[in-house]
Amino acid sequence: MSKATGRPDVKIEEAKDKVIGAIAETMDLYGVTPAAANLYATMYFEDQMTLDEMRTELGMSKPSMSTSVRRLQEIDMVKKTYTRGSRKHTYAAEKNFFRSFMAFYCQMWEREVKINLAAIKEAQEDFIEVIKDSHSTPEIVAKAKKYYDQLEESKTYYHWLDDLVENIRSGRIFEFLPKEQKD
Amino acid sequence: MSKATGRPDVKIEEAKDKVIGAIAETMDLYGVTPAAANLYATMYFEDQMTLDEMRTELGMSKPSMSTSVRRLQEIDMVKKTYTRGSRKHTYAAEKNFFRSFMAFYCQMWEREVKINLAAIKEAQEDFIEVIKDSHSTPEIVAKAKKYYDQLEESKTYYHWLDDLVENIRSGRIFEFLPKEQKD
DNA sequence: AATAACGTTAAATAAATTCTGAACGAAATT
DNA sequence: AATTTCGTTCAGAATTTATTTAACGTTATT
C-alpha cells in the first residue's frame, strides 16, 4: 500500500497515531471506556484541549467527551487548565507517566487494602466469637481457627501493599529503583 | 435484624461471606467478570473445587464456571490440581496474594511496556525521517523534534516499569520492602 | 453396546455498558 | 431582552459483555 512519503505532515500524524493506538490499547485495564482511553491518548500529544476540540478530533459526541474527560480527571490522568478570556473549559493530559502510575495504582491499591482489611477485621471477630462459643463443636472450632489463620496471612499482604503505596507516594521507591538506570 | 447467635456454623459462613464479598468487589479492575471474581473469592476458602461444586456453590451454570476458571488460570489465580481416581477436574485458588500480585501486575505491565515501546520505536523512526526530510518546513521539524523528545521521556517510564517487573519477579523488591514490617 | 458423566463449544438470551441525540439551565454575547 | 454558547443531564439506541441453554465430543461406567 502507498506510504505517505513526501508528506512530512502526514507522516507526523501517522507516527502519532501509532502511539495513540498503543496507549489506548493498553489502557483497557485502567477502568476507562474506549472513548476515554482514546481521548487520553489523543490529549497526550496536545498542550490542552476543549470539549469541542475533543469532539472534532475524535468524531464523537460532546456528552461522551464530557463524561470521558470527567472520568480521566477522577483518576488524575487529565487536569483542568485555566484559559483567560474564554468560556470554554480546557483540559490537559498528565504526561508524566510516573505521576499517572502513582496516582492510579495508589488509589486502586488503597481501595483494595481498605475494603479487604475491613472485611477481614469483621470476619476475624466473628471467627473469634465462634471459637469462644460453647455451642461450637471441635470441628467448628478447628475450621474457624483455620480461616482465622488464613486471614492473618492475607493481612501480611495487605499491610505490605499499604507499605508499597506509602513508599510510592513518598518517592522512596525511586531510591530503590531510580528512574534512570545504567544498563 | 436477627443475628446468627447460637449457630456457630452459620456465623462462620457469614464471616466467610464478608471476605468473599470484599475480594470479589475489589477484583473489578483485574479484568475478570463478576462471575470469575466471585468464583475466585469462593475458592479462596476451599482446598479445591470441581466444576460441579462451583456450580452448586455459586448457583451458576457449568459453562460459566468452566469459562471463569479458565480465565482465572490464565492470570495465575487458580491452579488445576490432580485428584487420583476421579474424572472430575479439580482446581485450587492461589492463596498467596504476593504471588497473585506478582503474576497479575507483571503480566499486565510487561504487556504495556512491550506494546508501547514498539509503537514508540516506530513513531520515533518516523519523526527522524520527517526531521531529515528536505520537504519539511522548520515548523514541521520543530514539531517532530518536540514529539520525539516527548516520547524519549516516556521511554524512561517504560524502562523503569520494565525494571520494576524484573525486581518483582526476582524478589528483590522484598529486600527493599519486606513482607513483615516492624511498625 | 448402551448410557451417563464431564467439560467445552455454539447459539441464544439477558444484562450491562457505551455513546448518541434531545433537552436543559446557566451564563456570556449580541 | 433575546439569542447563543457551553457543559451537563436524561432518555434511548446501539453495542458489548456476561451468562444461560442446547448441543456436542470424549471418556468412563454400567
Cβ separation B119–A31 shorter than 8 A: no
Distance A87 CA to D4 C1' (A): 13
Domain co-membership, B66 together with B133: no
Give nucleotides in strand C with any atom < 7 A to a protein C-beta: 5-10, 17-22, 27-29
At which of A49, A72, A95 does a domain end?
A95
The pLDDT, as a whole number, for residue A181 is: 66
Cβ atoms within 10 A of the Cβ of A22, count?
Answer: 21
Q: Does A177 touch chain B (CB under 8 A)?
A: yes
- A126 and A77 fall within a common domain: no
| Judgement on whether residues A38 and A108 belong to the same structural domain of the protein | no
Inside any domain, residue B135: yes
Listed in sequence order, the DSSP H helices in A50-137 are 51-58, 62-74, 97-132
A61 in contact with nucleic chain C (CB within 7 A) = yes
Boundary of a domain, candidates A64, A79, A95: A95
What's the CA–C1' distance between A41 and D25, in Å? Answer: 46
Assigned domain for A59 exists: yes
Same-domain pairing of B105 and B57: no
Q: Are A29 and A35 in contact (CB under 8 A)?
A: no
Q: What pLDDT is attached to residue B1?
A: 46
CA of B126: how far to CAs of A45, A47, B145, B181, in Å?
Answer: 15, 21, 11, 49
Contacts of A10 (CB under 8 A, 6+ apart): A4
If asked whether residues B82 and B24 sit together in one domain, one would say yes
pLDDT of res. B29 = 82
For residue B1, tell me if it sits in a domain.
no
Considering the domain architecture, whether residues A68 and A13 belong to the same structural domain is answered as yes
User: Among A56, A75, A95, where does a domain finish?
Assistant: A95
Residues B91/B53, Cβ–Cβ less than 8 Å = no
When CB atoms are compared, the residue of B108, B111, B156 closest to A180 is B156
Strand A90-93 relative to strand A49-50, pairing = antiparallel
Same domain, A15 and A91: yes
| DSSP three-state, residue B45 | coil
pLDDT at A4: 54
Question: Residue A2 falls within a domain, yes or no?
Answer: no
What pTM was estimated for this model as a whole?
0.89
Query: B64 and B130 in one domain?
Result: no
Cell matching residue B158: 517504560
CA–CA min distance B83, chain A (Å): 23
Q: Does A139 touch chain B (CB under 8 A)?
A: no
- Residues (27-66, chain B) with CB within 7 Å of strand C atoms: 50-52, 62-63, 66
Report the pLDDT averaged over residues A17-39: 92
Eight-state DSSP code of residue B27: G
B112 belongs to a structural domain: yes
Same domain, B61 and B75: yes
Task: Assess whether B43 and B119 both reside in one domain.
Answer: no
Q: What is the CATH number of the domain that holds B42?
A: 1.10.10.10
Closest-CA residue to B136 (of A2, A3, A7, A16): A7
**C-alpha grid cell for residue A114?**
481498605
Query: How many domains in chain A?
Result: 2
In a domain, A183, yes or no: no
pLDDT tens string B52-101: 999 999 999 999 999 999 999 999 999 999 888 888 999 999 999 999 99
Query: What are the two backbone dihedrals, phi and then psi, of residue B153, each rounded to the nearest 5 degrees?
Result: -65, -40
- Looking at the predicted structure, is the pLDDT value of residue A75 above 80? yes
Which residue segment(s) compose the domain that A150 sits in? 98-176
Cell of B133: 526530510
Question: What does the pLDDT look like over A84-125, one tens digit per residue?
Answer: 888 899 999 999 999 999 989 999 999 999 999 999 999 999
